[in-house]
Amino acid sequence: MNKNAIKSALNQFSAVVITGGSSGIGESFFNAIHSLNDNALYCNFSRSKPKIIESKNGFIHFPCDFSITQELNSQCSKLINILTEKGGDEKILLINNSGFGTYGQFPEPNSESQMNMLAVNICAPVYLTARLMPLLIKRGGVILNVASTAAFQPLPYMSTYAASKAFLMHWSLALNEDLKDTGVSTLTLCPGPTKTNFFVRAGFIESPMSYYPGQSSEEVVNTALLALVKGKTLTVSGWINRLLVFFSSKLPKLIVTKMAAIGLRLARLEQFKKDQ
């Protein structure tokens, strides 16, 4: 698949809406898409402002903490007004990427962070997608949902996070069928461990990714864009991750949960945690 094929697929979109473009995979999505399509209106939702990209049709940052419902509601309304007024009338690419996890015995670090995780990883993508749906159906588009390889199995010590990603993956796959013949489709992206701020945000003093193998955010985004061009519905990034999810989704849930717990205990990830 050459760069021109990706470029022409991306140039169908006159508006690109990304959540969590301020860091990691979201930032790499912005950079990769913008390098191939300078004509779209770019919109970002996150708490911190991402590096501004110069785009002919503009770049708008919507400061928003997804764990605060009123902020999400009002910023969604602003986005819809702007897309209606100046987002062109071609396809929309919506990338639901914002998300975070925590590591530790439930409910570490506290009950509030568990609730916030559900708000950011589940409620925000569902709400944002629902609000944008009339425009998406009118103009056509793709909804790219960033789930995880954690979506394929229960994950001890990251129980809420893995279950939130299982929700996102199943919702995204079912939505694709709901949307059949509407001109809108979904793509579910499942990265494995990736070198971003994710692990520091999850409560580690230092990312275990410095010691264990993993992909870069650019590699993950490259996989996603290739899948988008090919019109895929689900893509797991990296061949090791594809192999792991193949086996974890075939094995009985109880066995795979026990195996994950043993593996994580042996990896002794708690040595990297802030409270150690």
Ligand X SMILES: NC(=O)c1ccc[n+]([C@@H]2O[C@H](COP(=O)([O-])OP(=O)(O)OC[C@H]3O[C@@H](n4cnc5c(N)ncnc54)[C@H](OP(=O)(O)O)[C@@H]3O)[C@@H](O)[C@H]2O)c1
Helices 24-36 + 217-229 axis angle, to 10: 50
Of 30-38, 75-83, 94-102, 180-188, which segment contacts ligand X by CB under 6 A? 94-102
Q: Residues with Cβ < 8 Å from 75, sequence gap 6 or more?
A: 45, 62, 63, 64
* Per rule CB under 6 A, count of chain residues that contact ligand X: 28
Answer yes or no whether residue 33 interacts with ligand X by CB under 6 A: no
Q: How far apart are CA 225 and CA 32, in angstroms?
A: 9
Q: How far apart are CA 79 and CA 82, in angstroms?
A: 5
Answer yes or no whether residue 191 interacts with ligand X by CB under 6 A: yes
Peptide bond into 252 cis (omega under 30): no
Answer yes or no whether residue 48 interacts with ligand X by CB under 6 A: yes
Question: Between β-strands 59-63 and 234-236, what pairing exists: parallel, antiparallel or unpaired?
Answer: unpaired
Answer yes or no whether residue 153 interacts with ligand X by CB under 6 A: no
Which residue bears the tokens 């898409």?
33
Residues 109 and 32: beta-carbon distance below 8 Å: no
- The candidate with the shortest Cα–Cα distance to 100, out of 30, 199, 6, is 199
Of 77-85, 170-178, 190-198, 259-267, which segment contacts ligand X by CB under 6 A? 190-198
Answer yes or no whether residue 7 interacts with ligand X by CB under 6 A: no
Taking the least distance from each CB to ligand X, the nearer of 103 and 139 is: 103
Tokens of 191: 């990265």
Answer yes or no whether residue 61 interacts with ligand X by CB under 6 A: no
Closest CB 210 distance from ligand X, rounded Å: 13
Residue from the set 99, 141, 154, 208 that interacts with ligand X by CB under 6 A: 99
Taking the least distance from each CB to ligand X, the nearer of 142 and 146 is: 146
Answer yes or no whether residue 22 interacts with ligand X by CB under 6 A: yes
Strand partners, 60: 43
- The candidate with the shortest Cα–Cα distance to 145, out of 114, 113, 121, is 121
Taking the least distance from each CB to ligand X, the nearer of 139 and 238 is: 238
Taking the least distance from each CB to ligand X, the nearer of 132 and 146 is: 146
Taking the least distance from each CB to ligand X, the nearer of 14 and 117 is: 117
Q: Which of residues 210-229 bind ligand X (CB under 6 A)?
A: 217
Residues 135 and 43: beta-carbon distance below 8 Å: no
Answer yes or no whether residue 208 interacts with ligand X by CB under 6 A: no
User: Binding residues for ligand X, per CB under 6 A?
Assistant: 20, 22-26, 46-48, 64-67, 97-100, 120, 146, 148, 191, 193-194, 196-198, 201, 217
